[in-house]
Structure 1
Amino acid sequence: MEATPSVIAGIKIPDSAMAKATTELVRDTETVLLFHHSRRVFIWGSLTGKRKNLSFDPELLYVGAMFHDMGIMDSYASETERFEVDGANAARNFLAAYDVSERDVDDVWDSIALHTTPGIPQHKRPTVALVTAGVEMDVMGLAYNDFSADERAEVCACHPRGLKFKHGILSSFCLGTIRKPETTFGNVKADVLEKMDPTYKRGNFADIVLNSPWES
């Protein structure tokens, strides 16, 4: 993979020892599509933070953004947890080797675990809110027009989406859930499996309540 600029769309890519180790681990573990996606998530999240005048730690945001899809990969996937939780656990284990406070580790964990649960992250501290903001911009195009055409062009020149990113990211999400479909309950990945797996049956909360062992 070719070297990329150290500053992209005005956002400096963190280059501390921890950040470099994050980059190396994610680059060596994830697919090229997910690596570029994760870097874009960091940049979109950072630009969002600047636009909203939020005070955030770029390194924590970087770790959250880079690890947010690590749970999709077999080497980090558990048999029963949501892939988001697997990625969050991987980040927590990684951060144990560095001088990071418990609160900051918890923020990184939440930023990853909650990134497919809409309606909550934006009310949390900046690390959590901005990882999800970056994901939503890159995957769904939310707040697309809040970024300038020059910003979008520069980010995607350095970290290309490719012609089939939309289908590729959905396939990646499917890979992270198809062997444990129960983990889609209550998050957006249920939509992915319903679209891509003809054998998938969506869980229904009302049915679970009505069919519970309680008499009334």
Structure 2
Amino acid sequence: MAETIAGIRIPDSAIARAATQLVRDTEDDLLYHHSRRVFCWGALTGERRGLDYDAELLYLGAMFHDMGLTAPHSSPDLRFEVDGANAARDFMKSHGVQDREIEDVWTAIALHTTPGIPEHMRPTIALVTAGVEMDVLGIAYHDFTHEQRCHVCEHHPRETNFKENIIDHFAGGIKHKPSTTFGNVKADVLALKAAGYKRMNFCSIILNSAWPN
């Protein structure tokens, strides 16, 4: 029987079960439970906004959104979001998913740390980011009822010191490729956690480019 959390039915199709197992086998408990909560917050946001979203695609986006932080899916030179998006794309292709649906999930994952853009895009893309922002940043926290928050966290607990630990997970997944943080929020992570990290400066790049004027 399909699991229901805070009134949200967790997808239980063959591809959803395969994704769950892959994530469970690849990520630690913190990232696994975080990803499942992201789906719940995203789905609850979709219900509250009356959006016509595809729960299975939202689930895949949520479950894969941090896979790029794990060693098996981390490239030496791409943003971790792109690594996760690529992992989701390869997984979905192997299950015969249509290109348009793959594109939505890929984009949802690739943009989930780029505020101000996903919210204007198709529901899968908007809701993955909404779920991430709720779970990590507490954005729209009070738009969820106390009962919803408690029920989701009963099923997928936020471990002690989750705030500090999720930052540590981000740092661990990107510290070997600091240049990929240019222009995105993960620069803040390395500024806090990586000794000797120096932010790239957009204006300095312009002023020091090869152009003569």
Which interval holds the TM-score relative to the shorter structure?
over 0.9
Counterpart-to-counterpart distance in 2, 1:144 and 1:177: 27
Tell me, yes or no, if structure 1 residue 39 matches structure 2 residue 25.
no
Specify the alignment match of 1:195 in structure 2: 192
**Structural mapping, 1:124-139, within 5 Å:** 124-139=121-136
Counterpart-to-counterpart distance in 1, 2:183 and 2:12: 36
**Structural mapping, 1:1-216, within 5 Å:** 6-216=3-213
For residues 87-135 of structure 1, what are the alpha-carbon distances to aligned partners after superposition, in whole Å with 9 as ceiling and x for unaligned? 0000000001223221110000000000011111101100000000000
For residues 132-191 of structure 1, what are the alpha-carbon distances to aligned partners after superposition, in whole Å with 9 as ceiling and x for unaligned? 000000000000000000000010111000111001100111011100000001110000
Shift of 1:198: 2.0
For this pair of structures, how many residues does the alignment match? 212
Counterpart-to-counterpart distance in 2, 1:99 and 1:16: 14
Identity of aligned residues (%): 61
Q: Which amino acid aligns with 2:186?
A: K
Counterpart-to-counterpart distance in 1, 2:173 and 2:56: 26
Counterpart-to-counterpart distance in 1, 2:165 and 2:152: 19
Counterpart-to-counterpart distance in 2, 1:113 and 1:156: 26
Counterpart-to-counterpart distance in 2, 1:121 and 1:56: 14
Partner of 2:94, secondary structure, is coil
Tell me the TM-score normalized by structure 2. 0.98
